[in-house]
Structure 1
Amino acid sequence: MLTPWRLFLCQMALNIFYHIAKEIGEMESKWRLLHKANIKLCSQLIFTFITWQMSGYLTTKNSSLCLGGQDIFATVRENSPTGEIIAHLSINGDPGASSIRLCLTGENADWFYLEGRTIRLNSSFSRTLDREVLGSVLIAALTCYEDDIIRSRYRIMVEILNENDNMPYYLEDTIQPRYISELLTVNSMVFTVKARDGDGDTITYMTDKSTADASYFRIDLPNSGMVILDKPLDYETKTQLQVVIFAVETTTKEKYSTTATVTVNVLDGDDQYPQFQPCAPVYEDGDHNICTNPVYSVNITETDEDAVLYFSPGPIHAEDGDKDILTPLVYSILSGDGNGRFTIDSKTGEISLRQRVENRLLTPSFRLRIMAAQVNDPKKYSVATALVHVVSENRFPPFFNKTVYKGFLIESSSPATLVTTYGNQVLVVQAIDRDFRDGINPKIHYTMQPLTGSNKLYHISQDGIVIAKTDRLRAFDRHILEVIATDEESGETAHASVDIEVLQRGQPVPRSPFGEERLFGDMNAGMAGGIAALVLLVAVTVLFLFLWLAKRRRERRDPADRGAVALGKHPNVEASSPIAPRHVL
């Protein structure tokens, strides 16, 4: 009997087949005729077919051992050991029976193995379960064969639970050396670092405040990795900086971290003014050196003309304060050139005298104001002073009348004592200049340099008097000093040496270089006299022994020699006289 629900099923089947045929485009007309055919006959046939299929399915369900299972959804922790239980099977039959066979297939089937009704993890020491490598899910399938016929198939989906087993690491291109201009303003971004964590943990960044250059940088937003300039840069003070940055996990209990050291190379910027050389430092604190421009000076005479001037302490020369840029400079005379009397080379700074000075009494000196400015930026300039002194013509150089001066000091606790010479006279080391009638040149300046270990123990006045710090000297000390006399007008010098001996307390100063008493250390006059008497006695004894030995030598001569001497003839001459020896007697 054709019931309504059977007719409904038949109608649904016809509609499905009709739409499939319409999409494929084949046999469209046939299906239209079929749709208009006898619905009762078609419905009866389809119902008979469906009823046959359902009865076969129910029979199989009741008799198959592969049925009764379900799809498997499980979890396993990352890095779990081999043999970890994934799931238990719930099929009707016993996998150990000979009639059924279970098989694992699919993309990740090799990560599992069967042990009875249990699916276990198939990992090893060399092949760990790594979520960062495999992904978050393992997919496989379990197929059940009964009499070598597939009876059922179940899906297996295993989620890998994450473990914090990875350290953060920096992206290499974000921690490479940086090159930053010193003109970069404070609070500007210098660079950005980036670190990653294989486990996907949140990372924050911070700088190491204990390093030497930590004060130059800061990180305002810990999660950004953006490094901000916190202190002005100065190429002239520091050309390279290093900042240490930590990348730390913030969402894990382990708080794993990694460290990177980023080198920041400071590039020179055009922010310094020209500086005349040599630099005269007035302040130094290790990081900053403040200098003043030197005062150049030179002496000329009334006869000098069309000559290049050579200044002291060196030639007029300036350099750009930015040592790595060294912008070219241009020189000019601002004032004091004497209506063209002096000219300057704009490129080298060399000053020349073009006109001679007629009267040095009327114009004893000139003050020149020299400016050095950058060629590309004239607003960046520096000014120095050059003094030109007009002096009388110098014919004779200064000289000392001695090459070595002898000085003496007596041991004392006094902080300062004048050095004396023979006869206990004050030692005066003074140079002579024959350009002056009295030989005394008021422009001579005296300096003293130690040739032995006597640094800061002696001082010489501009009158040539030597002063010693006696409380720092001991008896029998001896120091040799070099005195330099410099003519401040001509620049000529003379040299002499001073030999200073320290006498013990109570010891007199020698009266002359020829009658200078010998220094016997701690011996007094009585001891010295005793030693002299002993020496004299030894000398007399040696002389006596010498005479006695000479006498003994004469007495031991041959008797014939002595007889020949008595007769007054040579012993080799024979007697010609017949006189017998007895007559001689």
Structure 2
Amino acid sequence: MGGSCVQRRPAGRLQVLFPFLLPLFYPTLCEPIRYSIPEELAKGSVVGNLAKDLGLSVLDVSARKLRVSTEKLLFNRNNTVNRENGNILVSDRIDRESLCPQSTLCVVPLEIVAENPLNVFHIMVRIEDINDNPPYFPQNSIVLQINELAILGTRFGLESAIDADVGPNSLQSYQLSYNEYFSLMVKDKIEGKNAPELILEKPLDREHQSSHFLVLTAVDGGDPVRSGTIQIRIEVTDANDNPPVFSQDVYKVSLPENLPLGTSVLKVTAIDQDEGINAEITYSFKTLRDIGNVFMLDHQNGEIKSKGPIDFEIRSSYTMSIEAKDGGGMATECKIIIEILDENDNAPEVIFTSVSNSITEDAEHGMVIALFKTHDKDLGENGEVTCLIKETVPFRIESSANNYYKLVTDGSLDREKTPSYNVTITATDRGKPPLSSSSSITLHIADVNDNAPVFEQAFYLVHIAENNPPGASIAQVSASDPDLGPNGRVSYSIVNSDLEPRALASYVSVSAQSGVVFAQRAFDHEQLRAFELTLQARDQGSPALSANVSLRVLVGDRNDNAPRVLYPALGPDGSALFDTVPRAAQPGYLVTKVVAVDADSGHNAWLSYHLLQASEPGLFSLGLRTGEVRTARALGDRDAARQRLLVAVRDGGQPPLSATATLLLVFADSLQEVLPDVSDRPAPSDPQAELQFYLVVTLALISVLFLLAVILAVALRLGRSSRPAAWTCFQPGLCYKTGPGVSPNYSRGTLPYSYNMHLKHKAQIETNHLRNCEETAGF
């Protein structure tokens, strides 16, 4: 706000100065608002409309939380400003005479503190006097002893009346009841007080009238006029025509405050030229009542001593009158002026008027945190105050105006490192020796979302065996966030994966609260061996911060797949097919090979071959790892032409799984030898078996024709080297063509290493089958 200060006068006796107040933080301030109100206003009376004079709306009064900061109880901090209309109200009875004794001008300073933003407005409330105190005399009556030889025109001083009011309402005049011997005269004294005096107008005659009674009336200038009276009794005595005379009319002395009790302050002296009892002088106070609480007077020698505490901050000067009265009743007065010198006996105070409720850790440099003022009751250098912060904190003090200071930020704040600061402000005056005092406040730093979540690990690797139960916990990720509240509350989610996005939810899920990763299904190592997830930890701040981490899941293999026999295959009717063996086969002759696969991996897929049953034990041998069936000895005369072998294939798992294969071997040198054996079989129970038999015969004939064509082609190519095609006969009369480069069409899965190791023997097996087929074709 800016602009000039304007003084406005309301109707009636109220005079108010309404300025446009500058903010507290502006370098200079204009004159304060001034209000004038009469004393004795009732509680709740309106002093003035602060909102109007500050140019604020009624809503601003409540929003900015205007309140009074004062040490006077007349204006309570909590209910002085009416937030509905902006009026300043009186909260207690106002007695100008109690607030400003013996002072013509009575001004009460107020400080209006506004928040949001912080401002201080200075208000001066002038308390106008009303005629609420009548003049009164300290004593109920005055007794004067006047010698009958008193000279006409002699003046006799009377005790002045006291009126606590000031200005026109104070004491204005005196009136004396009619008496032919005396008249009244009012003499102007120092400090503007009127001193009444009786003037002798007619000689006294004690024998004619020994006493006189008068009534002295003190009248003020109020409207209506108020007055006070005192009775004067005059006793006529014998001649005592010399009153006491002080050595000085006015005594002045300066005293330091805090004098020890009983210290001599001043001694007054009066002399009376009379003799005897008329020259015996006694001294007494003729002043306000509170003087007797601070000073005491020796009535015999006129010495004044300290009686009570002398405090410059309570009162800086005392003015009193001392009366000297002789034994004849004549009296005179002198004036005593005592000035109190200030000592540096009050340490400065630090008073916080407003403290910010919320200080965020991202507060900018120079942000106002608190507003405080200093107060020192001493004057001059004793009251000049400097403030400082002894701790090393990111705050500094900036001077404002009228002993007001701002506490502002002076560095970066980090709640995670220092959540609160205990700031002690020390105020020191310039007295000798200097005095100081400290006041501390605790400033709590509010959190902002300036820290992203941090995972405990940079990468997560999890091993899980297949066939896990659905819903099982397979891993847990954890991230921490040093922020508070929602800013530090972390939730977890899956943001990316190498799995199919549509199928991701059916594989895994993560708990948003705990970070536990759950398997939604049972994993199959043979279908999914590994997958990778990208998990995100996200806080609840605004804006939210997040961090990502990779989680790789390796699905371990279990021995859940039994070996599967690929060769020998079963015939169309479900029976095992035949392999032929030449009768002249020598020991070590490769008869056939059992081929099996296992969908598992590792040890679970390491296959071994075992001969469980044989028609002729010892006739054949079986390779443990290769599955090759070879002749162990030559065929004997007693050996049957047809042999049946039962082979078991086992994997390396724990426990191992196995499968069996039945080998039907026929020792024959020609197809004719095989066919009767086949014909000896029981006739099939259905027409389908007969059909299969004819198909086998047809295929055998076609194979023979094809073989002849191949031989012819080879002969025509003369010396061209070419590997003959391989033939495999699974049943007498039935051969199919294959080759070294043609692999069986296995189902999904990886062939075991035992099969891959012995592929080099495949050509020899096929050559034997080709020879058998040729012999059969020749038949």
Bigger fraction of residues in strand: 2
Q: TM-score, normalised by structure 2?
A: 0.38
**Structure with the largest fraction of helix:** 1
Bigger relative contact order, structure 1 or 2 (CA pairs below 8 A, ≥6 apart): 1
